[in-house]
Chains A and B, each alone.
Chain A
């Protein structure tokens, strides 16, 4: 690894045409894409919420479906950003050589990655908002505080987009992504308080969850949907920002090594 490749990302504003390119593709397939991002998490939420929920007592004074709503919003945001930054970005980088075509123009690689990061975060915001709208329509959102969840959803998407781009820049093929899902995303999903309060877990696992971006996103979004202010909001936001920033930097360094050697 050459030291010259380690410099901080220096994206100018030229990332915007990359975002617009991806948006133009998405617009052509927006309906099936949104439906796909909407249907799966909602089926899980309603199935588990009504099915399991009918067997369960209220959690912190909220019935299970209400508890699960915030987890579903955050988890589907994570998944939407992750799929975009893994499969779609990898396809543009490695299969279609779209990045290669863009690098022949005045854009820098940092700007291509910034465009991908903001695009994946935007797409996850569309998904998160769609779920949020359905959740609100079901009467599971009790206050205008829920509007404050919107920037949190975007930031959550950005954090997972950044992590996804790191994995994308490392991946030799699509199969590689399975490691990321199996070894990181799935365990994180289960210990971050999406389906049940993380307080149920042994202290050691709770300590691990304290480092995971998904847990921080849940702790921000759940109170907001229930009409409460989150505890330590700045701390949670700082973690999400740090993951997004650090992840993006690492993704830039790895992509430079891969594409500009």
Chain B
């Protein structure tokens, strides 16, 4: 035990971090889900956990909240040791879960009131906060609306408002925009940015790369329970991938691109599309100009390219 504690003080002990995870390990039904995971989240930043389905993102969140037994490693959240002081830690945390679990029997107002009571907040104080929270969530005037009458985007926003009822220091957001239309997604992004500007910390899981690129100050890419890359979004792109991408489509696009490997640094194929990664796209673009049967798109490399390079293009179900 003593040696474990000594190691932990090295792994976990940064005073500026609101969440620290050191050598976290978790198996489930004999399968390793989280494998020696370490990261730390500085206060008032947005940290992203990216990964394909089954990479261990949700399990990591559950372990951090003290809702899953740790097999190894340690977690400190909001100054509290997890799982020992998880309840005290959770008092400082707001959670937006992956699937909506609003109370279907209640109105918007009742949902927030009942949830605030779980934190031991007095009814009068909750009642003061509710109009502000509904306003923040773009649900002003909806206090008496039953949950069934809300759209998917409205439910997500109400869930976000609910997660803020205890004025938390850190928010856990598990795929907060999955299943939303672009308008609803942009609204959520704008609100989340506002929260970070106000000094709240966000821990976000997602598999939308544009979401991560927009919101996250730092992110970690998880695959099979391990962190395979970590850094700022732009930094990860410049470190792991060529800056320019030309996507070439068409029947023999892949063969065509492979024969011209010399024009790019690297070619990846997905179906009838060739992704040519290059430092200077000019020679490839001029070669493409003479190929009327091929269509193409030229763009800057994105986080998605990094993600696909590091985790592969195979399906993960």
Residues of A whose CB lies within 8 Å of any CB of B are 2, 4, 14, 17-18, 20-21, 24-25, 28, 96-98, 100-108, 259-261
Chain A contacts of B243 at CB under 8 A?
Answer: none
B120 pairs with A106, CB closer than 8 A:
yes
A24 pairs with B110, CB closer than 8 A:
yes
Q: Quick one: which of A24, A105, A108 has the most chain B CB within 10 A?
A: A105
Chain B contacts of A28 at CB under 8 A?
Answer: 105
- Say whether, besides A106-B88, A106-B118, A106-B119, A101 and B101 are in contact (CB < 8 Å): yes
Chain A's interface: helix, strand, loop or mixed, by majority?
helix
Query: Closest residue of chain B to A20, judged by CB?
Result: B117
Residues of B whose CB lies within 8 Å of any CB of A are 28, 65, 67-69, 87-88, 90-91, 93, 95, 97, 99, 101-106, 110, 114-115, 117-120, 166, 172
Starting from the known contacts A96-B103, A105-B90, 6 additional A-B residue pairs (CB-CB under 8 Å) come to A2-B69, A97-B99, A97-B101, A101-B103, A106-B88, A108-B87
Query: Closest residue of chain B to A260, judged by CB?
Result: B67
In the complex the two chains form, what is the Cα distance from A261 to B30 in whole Å? Answer: 13
In the complex the two chains form, what is the Cα distance from A80 to B126 in whole Å? Answer: 33
Instruction: Choose one: A4, A17, A25, A260; the contact of B118 (CB below 8 Å).
Output: A17
10 contacts between A and B (CB under 8 A): A17-B114, A17-B118, A101-B102, A101-B103, A103-B67, A104-B65, A106-B91, A106-B119, A260-B67, A261-B68
Chain B contacts of A261 at CB under 8 A?
Answer: 28, 68-69
Query: Closest residue of chain A to B100, judged by CB?
Result: A97
Minimum Cβ distance to chain B for residue A79 (Å):
22
Chain A contacts of B115 at CB under 8 A?
Answer: 101, 105
In the complex the two chains form, what is the Cα distance from A97 to B174 in whole Å? Answer: 15
Chain A contacts of B87 at CB under 8 A?
Answer: 106-108
B120 pairs with A20, CB closer than 8 A:
no
In the complex the two chains form, what is the Cα distance from A17 to B102 in whole Å? Answer: 16
Chain B contacts of A108 at CB under 8 A?
Answer: 87
Chain A contacts of B65 at CB under 8 A?
Answer: 104
In the complex the two chains form, what is the Cα distance from A103 to B91 in whole Å? Answer: 11
B105 pairs with A104, CB closer than 8 A:
no
Minimum Cβ distance to chain B for residue A161 (Å):
20
In the complex the two chains form, what is the Cα distance from A106 to B115 in whole Å? Answer: 11
- Say whether, besides A104-B95, A106-B120, A260-B68, A21 and B114 are in contact (CB < 8 Å): yes
Chain A contacts of B120 at CB under 8 A?
Answer: 14, 17, 106
Minimum Cβ distance to chain B for residue A133 (Å):
27
Chain A contacts of B172 at CB under 8 A?
Answer: 104
Chain A contacts of B69 at CB under 8 A?
Answer: 2, 4, 260-261
Minimum Cβ distance to chain A for residue B156 (Å):
14
Query: Closest residue of chain B to A92, judged by CB?
Result: B103
A17 pairs with B117, CB closer than 8 A:
yes
Minimum Cβ distance to chain A for residue B110 (Å):
7
A100 pairs with B118, CB closer than 8 A:
no
Minimum Cβ distance to chain A for residue B68 (Å):
7
Chain A contacts of B97 at CB under 8 A?
Answer: 97, 100-101, 104
In the complex the two chains form, what is the Cα distance from A107 to B120 in whole Å? Answer: 10
Minimum Cβ distance to chain B for residue A84 (Å):
14
In the complex the two chains form, what is the Cα distance from A56 to B118 in whole Å? Answer: 55
In the complex the two chains form, what is the Cα distance from A68 to B93 in whole Å? Answer: 54
Chain B contacts of A17 at CB under 8 A?
Answer: 114, 117-118, 120
A25 pairs with B101, CB closer than 8 A:
no
In the complex the two chains form, what is the Cα distance from A260 to B59 in whole Å? Answer: 11
Chain A contacts of B28 at CB under 8 A?
Answer: 261
Query: Closest residue of chain A to B65, judged by CB?
Result: A104
